[in-house]
Amino acid sequence: MNQNIKPTESELEILNILWSKGACTVRDVHEVLEQNKDAGYTTTLKLMQIMHDKNLLTRDASARSHVYSANVSQEKTQGQLVKKLIDNVFNGSAAQLVMQALGNHKTDKKELEAIKIYLKEMENKQQ
């Protein structure tokens, strides 16, 4: 059914807003977008209409201002994009990606702890 999610960069920006705020009107989304880039209102509208056509969004059109929601989960989208990165850029090795990510980005103690716990859990399940 919902095979391959391949949002563009602009689409991803919109999805991020909907994931964090829940259902929104175009204006809601546009107001957030405006803070980081300048594009007109109709640009945002058009993008969201296209995303609706592609089934990335659902919408409630009963009111004058339509209310849009993400129709793909954040987790699943993250998963697909990570998989693509691993396949295309890390020769299929998740571990290589992990070390790149850890090496070049600040990660605080709490997060490192979480990762260690995660690793232990995996080991227990594995054997």
Which amino acid is located at 61 in the chain?
Answer: A
* Nearest Cα residue to 28 out of 44, 39, 47, 12: 44
Site for its own copies in 71-110 (CB under 8 A): 75, 77-79, 81-83, 85-86, 88-91, 93-107, 109
Q: Any contact of residue 27 with its own copies (CB under 8 A)?
A: no
Q: How many helices (H) and strands (E) does the chain have?
A: 6, 3
| 1, 52 contact by CB (below 8 A) | no
Q: Any contact of residue 45 with DNA (CB under 7 A)?
A: yes
Dihedral pair phi/psi, residue 106, rounded to 5°:
-65, 130
- Reading the block at residue 117, the tokens are 């716990």
Please report, to the nearest 10 degrees, the dihedral formed by the alpha carbons of residues 58, 63, 65, 69 taken in order.
Answer: -20
Q: Kindly state the number of chain residues that form the binding site for its own copies, as judged by CB under 8 A.
A: 43
- Rounded to a whole number of angstroms, the minimum distance from the CB of residue 49 to its own copies is 22
Stretch that binds DNA, among 34-42, 80-88, 96-104, 111-119 (CB under 7 A): 34-42
Site for its own copies in 39-68 (CB under 8 A): none
Which amino acid is located at 126 in the chain?
Answer: Q
Site of interaction with its own copies (CB under 8 A): 9, 12-13, 16, 75, 77-79, 81-83, 85-86, 88-91, 93-107, 109, 111-112, 114-116, 118-119, 122-123, 126
Q: Give the residues lining the site for DNA (CB under 7 A).
A: 6, 8-11, 25-27, 37-43, 45-47, 49-50, 61, 64-66
